[in-house]
Structure 1
Amino acid sequence: MTELTRLSLAAARKGLDDKAFSAVELTEAYLGAIAAANPKLNAYVAVTDDQAREMAAASDERLAAGKGGPLEGIPLGIKDLFGTKGSHTQAGSHILDGFKPEYESTVTANLWRDGAVMLGKLNMDEFAMGSSNETSYYGPVINPWRGEGSNLDLVPGGSSGGSAAAVSAWLCAGATATDTGGSIRQPAAFTGTVGIKPTYGRCSRWGVVAFASSLDQAGPIARTVEDAALLMTSMSGFDPKDSTSADLAVPDFAAAVERGVKGLVIGVPREYRMDGMPEEIEALWRQGLEWLRAEGATVRDISLPHTKYALPAYYIVAPAEASSNLARYDGVKYGLRVSGKDITDMYELTRAAGFGREVKRRVMIGTYVLSAGYYDAYYVRAQKVRTLIKRDFEAVFADGVDAILTPATPSAAFGVGDEDMKADPVKMYLNDVFTVTVNMAGLPGIAVPAGKDASGLPLGLQLIGKPFDEETLFAAGRVIERSAGIDFSPKVWW
């Protein structure tokens, strides 16, 4: 029965429709896989067994009555950042200890409306602050992939490392994730999965724990481009509860997957050729361009001149917004409370005990750049740079470019507890060098597995699109996926 977990989301849908198996059987297969693998991978922080079985049984009733939704009976994992009514929602942090919200995030409500089944909540970097899933209060997630002949535990990327690892290791048919500076695309690239960060405003942020409100965007991680498109169709939509939600009709993203790239112009930004970029990343990039060219696309060199300022600007804007958003965690109404001699002492003790090291670092940076003497010198200047980055993309798209191809990450997955990364936070932040521009400009970006490095670890390519033109990204991503023709299944060691 566990082989049911190896089906793609699209294949599982067909199997349910054809009555080859039931939603309860599919869900039980996933729950069994989680029980066997999670002690080693640490992808789930809470498994909602009883709720999953109830939802699956209800799905079987609807399927029997011919009333199944687009995701009827499909078991999903939910990143711990999404509010799920009555179940564990702690954003990977101790400060939200025991928190179970009385509300449901709009994105997860959309998924349940369409018939999906919740398996549980997925591990993540604390408050989505991290590029390796090592900052979680619940410990690091372990990548299902290992280098050939190696027993070294690797990171799955972050902050959506639990989502990516669970999808890669067949512990859910798909997963929700969020992306503030690369937190969907980088873990997808590290685990051989597909991850798309939609245009800012495509998916509602209501009910999702905030990190940096002008950058955060929900999206799916899945095993195939088609699966990601199916999930995103359900996750998307206008939400009057989110003032930044776009009042636009949701396309049938899956219908665009096989559209092809004939006649499209693909841009290649020269600024993404970084000093010291590994040759295997450069070679994969060239290969991706050849695949697109062979399918009828035109490749054109372009310039995005303000790219070099994106990472430093991002690490001003994001911590600034985080310092404001995280001020609400004070031990008064919910979550952890450490008693003190007065209310100020209680605030200080609660935050000292509740927040991890990386969160404290970013809150301190954010508070500093927003302070009276430094606001203009740092925060205002970073926002001006952000405008210039956005204009770079607008100029390129106005000049006839349909999508942009870049590497997804500067390397394959690295080891858990890597000393260089631990010693120098900037080295960790550089993992987002190819992804942060997309968030700064509010654009859609998809990471698609396209090759492997010398030790057999997955490498991804990133496609960046025009605002609200995710359909082109799915079409081009499918061309890369099909052209690569590689089975991105990790060898089971757990």
Structure 2
Amino acid sequence: MRPSAIWLLPVLLVLSACGSGADDRAASPRAPDDFLYAELDIAMLQQRMADGTLDSHTLTRAYLDRIAAIDRAGPSLHAVIETNPDALREAAARDAERRAGKLRGPLHGIPVLIKDNIGATPMVNSAGSLALRDFRPAHDAFLVRRLREAGAVILGKTNLSEWANFRSTRSISGWSARGGQTRNPYALDHSPCGSSSGSAVAVAANLAVVAVGTETDGSILCPAAVNGIVGLKPTVGLVSRNGILPISFSQDTAGPMARNVTDAALLLSAVAGRDESDPATATLPGHAVYDYAARLSPDALRGARIGVLHNNLSEAEDIGGVYRHALDALRDAGATLVDVALPTDGQWDDAETTVLLHEFKAGLERYLRQQHAPVHTLAELIAFNGQHAGKEMARFDQDLFERSQATTGLADPVYIQARAKARQLAGPLGLDATLDAEHLDALVAPTTGAAWRIDPARGDDFRGAGYGAAAVAGYPSLTVPMGS
């Protein structure tokens, strides 16, 4: 893939989610008089810590109090599944380093929330499942080690769509047996999307300034979209998956979720890096220093050629007008816009499903063995859910688990052919062909539709998305709010 094809930039609609007309509506989660540190970004928090008007211990305590007030009680957002019992001690240690003149970087003393499929000691890593509710990995995931080395305070773990939305085709975004139903802070009876539901809601509701999510296909972008924040899915292989409960080694990645692009870039800089235990990172320089925030520029779009994708979302009544205004903003920033279409759009869907079903079983069982988890195989998980059906399967079944269990391994020619087909259709014949044909620097599309009403009986009412090709190809995608 040529360098100019690296960034796929979908624009996301947020205000239709916030203005959904729901009766069960939360007060704005961003009201500045509701929380002392609402809407402050990393640079603002660092400035206060530098001038002595704030320290990490005070900030961490404030976030923990806010979690208790509106996540555990009040509107009961269910965004945070567990807080770190060592968070205040970690914050105090970072404060001591600051007083001694040792600053580790832009995240020094900044509390960060981590999705509950990423190992972070001493907390549980459960993917929201009761089968792993007592499973505490002995070691941090690689990206968590990177965060600690960068000076971040691990505030806690966030709720998610159980098993990152890969247990059932009828799953409910944001629900897990361990964590309950995560709620959209702008409209409590509407979906937070998933699977990184808690990470998105936590940032939107000022439970943390930034959070880490994971994505296989849409699990960072969709919840970021419907909760009105920034979500970045990096190129597969930029961030190590070591210590993360897997779905697909072809498509999985972790990535930042924040209220602005600068904070997302700062978080990405901290977690990116080569890890010998994850072969996908092998092409990265061994000791590179990443500073994506330094590359940001208000003039970055001047002279850029952006391909504009149109689909059912861009023509929808509640999205089309806002999307056109967003495109005007890109033109005003100096970009040249070109209408384009992906020649292979959606043709990879069946092949992608085949790949995920095969890779999930193989990757999960490898993780469970290596981490000495209390269950060891997918078959054992399926049996556990059946034995605890009243709690685990009252809302939806486990048909994806069962289909994955029926696969016959990564040497199966059906899998090998599907993987090659999916990557070819999404990458070289899809995104690359579109970018090359018009000499484009990036593509833009609506991320997804508005948040839908949570309906335990019918499941998710998903309207489509603009990020599928990037997910399957392993390319990066960024979602940012549009409208006001």
TM-score (norm 1): 0.80
Give distance in 1, aligned partners of 2:373 and 2:298.
48
Aligned to 1:321: 359
1:436 aligns with 2:458: no
1:124 is aligned to 160
Any residues of structure 2 matched to 1:161-200 within 5 Å, and which?
161-200=197-236
Tell me if the contact between 2:230 and 2:257 (Cα under 8 Å) persists in the aligned partners: yes
SS in 1 for 2:135: coil
The partner residue of 2:239 within 203, 216, 226 is 203
Show CA shifts across 1:251-300 (max 9, x none): 4211222242101010113xx41289522222222222211111111111
Change (3 A) 1:96 1:159: same
**Structure 1 pair 80–293 and aligned structure 2 pair: CA distance change class (3 A):** same
Are residue 141 (structure 1) and residue 182 (structure 2) matched? yes
- Any conservation in 2 of the 1:127–1:359 contact (CA below 8 Å)? no
Partner of 1:363: 401
Paired with 1:309 and 1:265, the residues of 2 have a C-alpha distance of 26
Whole-Å separation in 1 of the counterparts to 2:344 and 2:326: 24
* 1:57 corresponding residue in structure 2: 92
Counterpart position of 1:263:
303
Give the RMSD, CA atoms, in angstroms. Answer: 2.9
1:214 aligns with 2:250: yes
| Aligned residue runs from structure 1 range 379-390, under 5 A | 380-381=417-418, 383-390=420-427
DSSP 3-state at the match of 1:232: helix
The answer as to whether partners of 1:233 and 1:251 remain within 8 angstroms in 2 is: yes
Q: Which is worse superposed, 384-393 or 344-353?
A: 344-353
CA drift of 1:4 comes to: 2.2
Does residue 408 (structure 1) correspond to residue 447 (structure 2)? The answer is: yes
Q: Is the 8 A contact 1:97 1:335 kept in 2?
A: no
Counterpart AA for 1:440: V
**Cα offset, 1:368, TM superposition:** 4.5
Q: 1:26 to 1:346 in 2, by over 3 A?
A: closer
Letter in 2 for 1:141: T
* Mapping for residues 45-124 of structure 1, pairs under 5 Å: 45-48=81-84, 50-70=85-105, 71-124=107-160
Three-state SS of the structure 1 residue aligned to 2:241 is coil
Aligned equivalents of 1:275 and 1:199: distance in 2? 25
Contact 2:272 2:290 in 1 (8 A): no
Q: 1:117 to 1:183 in 2, by over 3 A?
A: same
Q: What is the aligned partner in structure 1 of residue 373 from structure 2?
A: 334
Tell me, in whole angstroms, the C-alpha distance in 1 between the residues paired with 2:116 and 2:66: 20
Q: Does structure 1 residue 350 correspond to structure 2 residue 384?
A: yes
Which residue of structure 1 lines up, in the alignment, with residue 293 of structure 2? 254
Residue 59 of structure 2: SS of its match in structure 1?
helix
| Corresponding pairs, count | 430
| Contact 1:320-1:379 at 8 Å conserved across structures | no
Q: Distance in 2 between matches of 1:228 and 1:139?
A: 27
Do 1:316 and 1:369's aligned partners in 2 also have CA atoms closer than 8 Å?
Answer: no
Q: Aligned partners of 1:442, 1:361: CA distance in 2, in Å?
A: 26
CA distance in 1 between counterparts of 2:352 and 2:174 reads: 19
Whether the 8 Å CA contact 1:125–1:136 is kept in 2: the answer is: no
Q: Distance in 2 between matches of 1:344 and 1:180?
A: 19
Q: Which of 177, 194, 199 is matched with 1:158 structurally?
A: 194
TM-aligned CA deviation for residue 179 of structure 1 = 0.9
Decide whether aligned partners of structure 1 residues 33 and 390 sit closer, same or farther in structure 2, where only a CA change above 3 A counts.
same
* SS class of match (1:38): helix
Structure 1 residues 302 and 55, CA gap change in structure 2 (3 angstroms): same
8 Å Cα contact 2:231/2:264 also seen in 1:
yes
Amino acid at match of 2:42: L
Mapped partners of 1:100, 1:114: distance in 2? 23
State the one-letter code of the partner of 1:385.
Answer: A
Contact persistence 2:173–2:195 (CA under 8 A): yes
Q: Gaps spanning 5+ residues in structure 2: where?
A: 1-33, 166-170
Q: Distance in 2 between matches of 1:300 and 1:347?
A: 49
Quick one: higher RCO (CA 8 Å, sep 6+), 1 or 2? 2
Question: 2: CA distance between counterparts of 1:305 and 1:45?
Answer: 42
Of residues 445, 457, 476, the one that matches 2:477 is 445
- Percent identity between the aligned chains? 33
User: Normalization by structure 2: what TM-score?
Assistant: 0.82
**Structure 1 residues 378, 51: closer, same or farther in 2, change over 3 A?**
closer
CA distance in 2, matches of 1:16, 1:346: 49
- In structure 2, the CA distance between the partners of 1:354 and 1:436, relative to structure 1 (3 Å rule), is farther
Q: Secondary structure at the match of 1:239?
A: coil
